[in-house]
Each structure stands twice: as structure tokens, then as C-alpha cells.
Amino acid sequence: LFDLSQFKLSRTNEEMFKGGHQMMNLSQLNGSIDSLENDFGRIKKEVVGNMKPYYLFLRDSNFYKEIVTAKPVALKSASLTQPDPIFVNALNSARGLKSYSYSSSEDLDNRKYLVAKYKVEWHRKLTLSAACFILFLIGAPLGAIIRKGGMGLPLVVSVIFFLLYHIASITGEKLAKEGATAPVQGMWFSSAILLPVGLFLIYKATSDSVIFDIELYKSFFKRFKKIR
């Protein structure tokens, strides 16, 4: 027996994790997704509205029309010791716009990533339930199809299919969070791959197939050796 009282273990407060997206149900995730998407759209419009006045070369602006019809004016050459205020103001405006656009771009990317995380979590709650059914469709007929090797060989093949599902699921989730694909496509990518495999194995099991019979493949390749 070990005395653990000196570690002073205490239960973590559940309120700290209640607001996390992983602890929400589908209805709560829907509400959070709507709020995040509304905030994303509102901030995006604000960024566009704040940056648009700096782009005076837009053809629909009155300033562009005035520039086209204006006569050229000779500007004084900029001195190294006393630069022209026109160039200084233009340089400061360009630097300010660059800094604002950079920070706004990072903020929008983070908000877009957060929306993707909530959508991924929404689909995860459905894909995990579907995964149990799909892996059952794969594992159940393996015992009837694989007739040699006892329990070991069907178990090994089932683990291989599970690893394939896990790798495909992680890949699709990563692509969805990075914005390379839609969350619905990324999260259902693994299910779309293995569901036809499970239905195919069910069909082969009902038709008494010998798809996993090693002797069948050995005899098939022996034909090529005879031809040689």
C-alpha cells in the first residue's frame, strides 16, 4: 500500500472544460458555428471597408476619374536630407496599410481555423458512430471468409483495416482544419473509402468466397511458372 495523501490530488473543476468544443453536443456546436461564422463575416466586411479607401485606383471611384483627366504636375525632387512631405506621407500610409493587412489576415485565418475546428468536431460525433458500423461490416465477414489461421489471422486483418481507417481519418481531419478541403469531405473521407470495402466483404461472405485463401493465389502464380 502506498500513501498518496501527500500528493494532495484533487478533482479538476468541470467548469473549466464545459465551454470547450469537444464537450458540446450537436445543437451547441451548431449555435457556436453560427456565431463564429457571423463574426467572421462581420470582421471581413470591416477589413474590406477599412482598406478600400487606400486603393484609390479603383475604376469605379471618382478619384480615378480625376486622375485620368488631370494635367501632369512637376514635383520637386526628393532631397536626401529633407525628403518631400508627399513622399513621407505616402510611405507612412503604405507601411500602415501593410501592417494592418498583415494583422487582419492573421486574425481572419485564425477565425477561419476556429470555425473549421467546430465543424470538424460536429462531424466527428457522427463519423465515430458510423465507424463502429463500418468496422463491424469489415470484421464480421472476415471470420467466415478466412478459414485458416484460427482467430489470429482474422484479428490481424481486422487490425490492418482499422489502421487504414485511422490513418485516413487523421489525414482527412488535418486537411479539413487546414482549409484544404471542406470539413464534411475531410471527416467522411475514411468512411467513404472503407464502406464499399465492408459491403464487398459482406457480399463475399454470403456467397461463400475464398478471397483470403492463400492456396488459391499460390496456384494462380504457379501457372506463370509453368508457362516460363
Q: How far apart are CA 215 and CA 218, in angstroms?
A: 5
Q: How far apart are CA 179 and CA 112, in angstroms?
A: 8
**206 pLDDT above the threshold of 60:** yes
With CA atoms as reference, report the closest residue to 63 among 51, 55, 71.
Answer: 55
Confidence bin at 88 (pLDDT 50/70/90): confident
Q: How far apart are CA 123 and CA 173, in angstroms?
A: 10
Give the single-character DSSP code of 124. Answer: H
- Cβ-defined contacts of 109-112 (< 8 Å, 24+): 111/36, 111/39, 111/40, 111/43, 112/40, 112/179
Q: How far apart are CA 194 and CA 196, in angstroms?
A: 6
Q: How far apart are CA 129 and CA 138, in angstroms?
A: 15
The alpha carbon of residue 228 and the mean position of all alpha carbons in its chain are separated, in whole angstroms, by 51
Confidence bin at 179 (pLDDT 50/70/90): confident
**What average pLDDT score do residues 6-31 get?**
75
Tens digit of each residue's pLDDT (9 = 90 or more) over 101-158: 899 999 999 999 999 999 999 999 999 999 989 988 888 887 777 766 566 777 788 8
